Amino acid sequence: MPAIGVLTMELRLEESHSLKEKRHVVQSLKDRLRSRFNVSVAEIEHQDTWQRATLAAVTVASDRIHAGKVLQSVEEDAAAMAGPALVGVNLEWIE
């Protein structure tokens, strides 16, 4: 049975002073994660808030071990790119 993993990441963008600045940061992160890890990424909350963003990265794999490794790599890369702006991460499995 395939494994579907959802990694939710909360960002606080303290240096963002407009939606345009925020969207630039969010779009860069989304593009990087999509291209490096072949995951689906979307901003799922706080679209109209300047200094907050919640992203979800989703992967489907043949087993939970492989999906977990992919999402762990996504989390590590997002943490490296966002630094202290990444304030929360949650992993869920869809059965």
pTM metric for this prediction? 0.93
Domain residues of the chain, as ranges? 3-94
**43-67 pLDDT per residue, tens:** 999 999 999 999 999 999 999 999 9
Phi, psi (rounded to 5 degrees) for 8 = -100, 130
Superfamily of domain 3-94: TT1725-like (3.30.70.1120)
Q: What percent of the chain has pLDDT over 70?
A: 100
Q: How confident is the model at residue 95 (pLDDT cuts 50, 70, 90)?
A: confident
DSSP 85: G
